[in-house]
Amino acid sequence: MLNTIAITTGEPAGIGPDITLMAAQQPWDAQLVAIGDAELLRQRAQLLQLDVSIEDYQPGQAATRHRPNHLAVLHTPLAEPVTPGKLNSNNARYVLNTLDIAIAGCLDGSFSAMCTAPVQKSVINDAGIPFSGHTEYLAEKTDTEHVVMMLATESLRVALATTHLPLSAVPAAITQESLSRTLHILHSDLTSKFGTANPCIAVLGLNPHAGEGGHLGREEIEVIEPLLQKLREQGLNLIGPLPADTAFNPSMLEQADAFLAMYHDQGLPVLKYAGFGEAINITLGLPIVRTSVDHGTALDLAGASTASDDSLRQAINGAIKIMSHNNRIKGNATIN
């Protein structure tokens, strides 16, 4: 079965269009469909001197394997022309329209998965549209009550118990109910999307030294450890809570299939140090498959031929691998 991967081209003034065009130069064992303004992509290809042919994609047409230097585009018009590197809040709705089209296509089966180029949260909020990030937006649009943000390299996976919250709001958000949902989703998706049997999950503490017996905070004693023990009794393979400063050691990296950090900047600096530009962001718990780059819009690099498409290529590869695994599972279920 040939998968169709939708690529949302992200903030039009950033490098999203650039890296989409760069990735289109490669062969892919899937159909790629870029969702964005076709003329913007033509202009950016010309600016970058990339020989990529922009072709009109018609929803419902039979899937064909991607050809290098060709890009099927589901045209979504900009509100106003774009200058690389210069944000324009009048195009904020355009960015969300590309996401809405990809989400709808994944839900109705037109697309197998979606990969997202980076968006600029600030300009969307400047347009008067509340927006805290892709993860939260996808959850809202798919009516998903609880999702998990996980970033991954070839050798390290880090999921988050909380996502885009001020640090002052994190402790109150760490509840047994929320952690239980997160860990069940992480366990389930590691099994179903990545084929990991009985995944081992290393859970970080919230406080320095994981609270040091309550002297540096009591969240580990009162919330995290009791919940982990309860989930172990239900069959989940959990380690922790671990002090965050020593958790990512060689022995634990070999043992754990994923780490759960309590907040954004607790786990992601380690992940991005290990694989910046090559890591991908995966939203777990959704009824659709979504992967993304691990970087921002890089406005200063837009249109300058200096951006790297490594992370987007990894995101596309990740989506294809997940869908290939899902297709094998479905095939085995049909045979059985």
Please, which residues bridge with residue 325 across strands?
none
Continuous H helices in the chain: 16-23, 38-48, 92-107, 121-126, 134-141, 170-173, 176-192, 219, 225-233, 244-247, 250-255, 264-275, 310-335
Residue 31 has phi, psi (to 5 degrees) of -95, 130
For the annotated binding site for substrate, the residues are 134-135, 272, 281, 290
CA distance 298 to 280: 16
Cβ burial, residue 63 (10 Å; 0-12/13-18/19+): middle
Bridge pairing between strands 53-56 and 200-204: unpaired
For the annotated binding site, the residues are 134-135, 164, 209, 264, 272, 281, 290
Bridge pairing between strands 258-261 and 53-56: unpaired
Dihedral sign computed on CA atoms, order 78, 79, 80, 84: negative
CA distance 248 to 220: 19
For the annotated binding site for a divalent metal cation, the residues are 164, 209, 264
